[in-house]
Chains A and B, each alone.
Chain A
Amino acid sequence: MSRGALGVAVVVLVLTVATPAAAIPAFARKYQTSCLTCHTVYPKLNPFGEAFRRNGYRFPGTDSDYIKAEQIAMGQEANKKTFPKTAWPDSLLAAIPISVGANGQAMIVPSSTSSAGEAAKAVDGSTAHFSLQNLVAEAHLWGGAAFDDTITSWFELTFSSGGVDVEHAQLLFNDIVGPKHLFNVIVGHGFPNVTQYGPHSSYLADQLVTVVPVTAIFWGDPDPWTLVDNYTGLELNGVIAGRVDYAVGLNAGKIAHGLAPTDNFYGRVGFKIGGMRLDGEDSSGADPDRPWAETALGIYGFGYQSNSRFDTTAGAPVASDTANTYGVGGRGQLGSAELNVGWYTESHGHGTDTGGPVNAKVLFGELSYVVFPWMVPAVRVETLWVTPEGGTTVRNLHIQPGIAFLIRPNIKLVAVFDYESAHGFVSTTGGPLTPGPQAWQGGASSWGPIQIAPPSSGENTRSEFESIGLYLAWAM
């Protein structure tokens, strides 16, 4: 494995280490309810949790009715009658709405001849068949609170060996005009809502959507734009009549340095048939005995244009790249069984190190079954096709069977087996990376150094049972 490829692998690993944030113990304290009100194996949300997230982290009905934690009034409801002579009232939770947690993974590498085994040998001459090194890869500080029945906030600070990152810092202005849930605005730093579901809606991977860091693969961009990541911007979203939802947004995207125009746009529309309403109102469709279960179908489609400006290497001019992405996705649920699927095509205008276009197509799916509220077996499949202009299509496949356990409602353990197969390998010629075939960066590789390297024999196909990831996370 070349040093450049190893560097990219490390970059992608850092980018894809799991960040289990969807809802947090701060909400459990606020409402004095169990994590299981909103989650199955956290951060995976059940239908009510999805509605809570979609509503701007508010309960259906009147959110304050459900708040049991002590609050300090910053004014009274009656002050609305005396505005503007008095400030518009809100309230603070008496306890700081903060949660903490940590996560990471132990890795089992089955063979010294696997890509991970080879990579380890290349670095220090030994093969790490079992490593606890990254068992605590990240620590988190989460915050979530309501200022009143319409304005809420969401905050996440992540600490890792790479430093401290503000992953989320959002103000959510809900029900700003018209019928309830129809028009909401999110301001700040966080995930664009390009799917109908929470970004971490996976039992086995960090994110529901498999992403491809194209400019990292071809350019060595240390902070590549990907379809699902944290960006700073504005989003207007809403739910229409409980069954149709939409989001349109504008964000700054990935800017290496300097002040650049905010010119990343996206939009999504979707619908849900059956089960609980998207906004959770009316509580119809809920199964009181199995809060995760429903019989429903949700479908969505999205489009996204990003304009990234990035450094390719120290001292080099800033490169820019426009990517246009279109896709569809859906979730079908039959009782405790759930299938999530998605497909998109992502076309970069300046994707390769020679300035040529690159098209990436991604297909992902995850089938799961909640056997018990604390045990969910699942299998995840991710397939990528990457085609640089004038080059051949490179194909990669991940098959990841696994099982997620709740040791306690706020402690989880996930075991994921990863099989990876690649046909063809991305090759660079003139960029900052070492020329030649690069290690494959597969999918939402959340479970350690999942990467498949070009075989030394020069063949362009390689398949292997790559690793077993044992993922541990807790939050409190």
Chain B
Amino acid sequence: MTTTLRTLTLAALGTASVALAADGTITGKVDATPAKYLEETVVYLKGAKAPGKAPETKSMDQKAMTFVPHILVVSQGDTVNFLNHDNVVHNVYSPDNEGYNLGSFKQDEQRSYKFQKEGAYTQLCSLHPEMLAFIFVAPGPYAAAVDKKGNFTIAHVPPGTYQLAVWNSHLKASDKPVTVAPGQTVTENLSLKR
């Protein structure tokens, strides 16, 4: 590596680390009434995109007649690979937004779908009507599913003021304005109800 290239590389790494250091974090807790729907919750920054972010590929598996994970958060433009590790045939379809049906596929086969629109997509299997999962397509990478206790963390958020929004399969909550300062962590709690 030449001295010039090494210098440019270090400069680039330095810029990136400065940028990451300058980003903030949003954390908090969601409570839900009734609580049984709490785990089907995603917190995200409304309209917050990340220009230049490369699309990613994530996976949703089907194991023991269950979609895994139950909630998958992706960004607009990302692709999801749907796997089947059961020894029965599964199908994947969603009636939401533009809707899609990836057909039926056997064990160890997979199908893919690229999510171009924001929003929540219910994942269903036409062969096993009890199976259910959700893919939440956020406008950018600033989204997180809550854990079992309702805690969430959205990291690497550029400083600025945003609308903190929440999606839930059954419940609603109002958006909240949130301001992220460089290198700081801001805490916001949200309440979901009918």
Contacts and interface: CB of A to CB of B under 8 A. Distances in A.
B122 A76 contact: yes
Interface in A46-87: 61-62, 65-66, 68, 72-79, 81-82, 86-87
Interface in A69-127: 72-79, 81-82, 86-87, 89
Given A76-B124, A78-B122, A79-B124, A68 B36 contact: yes
Contacts of B122: 76-78
B130 interface: yes
B130 A75 contact: yes
Most B C-beta atoms less than 10 A away, residue of A68, A77, A78, A81: A78
Given A73-B129, A87-B129, A89-B129, A78 B34 contact: no
Chain B, interface SS category: loop
B95 interface: yes
Contacts of A75: 129-130
A75 B95 CA distance: 13
Contacts of B93: 82
A36 B132 CA distance: 35
A79 B129 contact: yes
B194 interface: yes
B130 A82 contact: no
A343 to B, nearest CB: 43
Given A65-B34, A65-B194, A74 B96 contact: no
Contacts of A82: 93, 95, 124
A79 B126 CA distance: 9
A62 B194 contact: yes
Contacts of A74: 129-130
Contacts of A72: 130
A73 B36 CA distance: 15
A73 B130 contact: yes
Contacts, number: 41
A1 to B, nearest CB: 60
Contacts of A78: 94-96, 122, 124, 132
A82 B125 CA distance: 12
A436 B114 CA distance: 90
A86 B130 CA distance: 12
A81 B98 CA distance: 12
Contact of B96 (A61, A73, A81): A81
A78 B132 CA distance: 9
Contacts of A79: 95, 124, 129
B191 to A, nearest CB: 15
Contact of B194 (A61, A68, A76, A86): A61
A66 B194 CA distance: 12
A74 B129 CA distance: 6
A62 B36 CA distance: 13
Contacts of A76: 122, 124, 129-132
A63 to B, nearest CB: 11
Nearest to B130: A73
B194 A73 contact: no
A61 B36 CA distance: 16
Nearest to A68: B36
A74 B170 CA distance: 18
Interface in B3-57: 34, 36
A72 B132 CA distance: 12
Contacts of B194: 61-62, 65
Nearest to B169: A77
B132 A73 contact: yes
B126 A86 contact: yes
Nearest to B93: A82
B129 A81 contact: no
A101 B173 CA distance: 44
Nearest to B134: A78
B103 to A, nearest CB: 14
B128 to A, nearest CB: 10
Contacts of A77: 122
A68 B37 CA distance: 11
Interface in A279-319: none
Interface in B104-153: 122, 124, 126, 129-132
Interface string A376-409: 0000000000000000000000000000000000
Contacts of B170: 65
A66 B36 CA distance: 9
Contacts of B36: 65, 68
A68 B194 CA distance: 17
Nearest to B36: A68
A266 to B, nearest CB: 36
Contacts of B34: 65-66
Contacts of A87: 129
Interface of A: 61-62, 65-66, 68, 72-79, 81-82, 86-87, 89
Interface of B: 34, 36, 93-96, 122, 124, 126, 129-132, 170, 194
27 contacts: A61-B194, A62-B194, A65-B34, A65-B36, A65-B170, A66-B34, A72-B130, A73-B129, A73-B130, A74-B129, A74-B130, A75-B129, A75-B130, A76-B122, A76-B131, A76-B132, A77-B122, A78-B94, A78-B95, A78-B124, A78-B132, A79-B95, A81-B96, A82-B95, A86-B126, A86-B129, A89-B129
Give the top 7 A-B pairs by smallest Cβ distance, nearest first: A78-B122, A81-B95, A75-B129, A73-B130, A65-B34, A82-B95, A76-B132
Given A76-B122, A78-B122, 12 more contacts: A61-B194, A62-B194, A65-B194, A73-B129, A76-B124, A76-B132, A77-B122, A78-B94, A81-B96, A82-B93, A86-B126, A87-B129
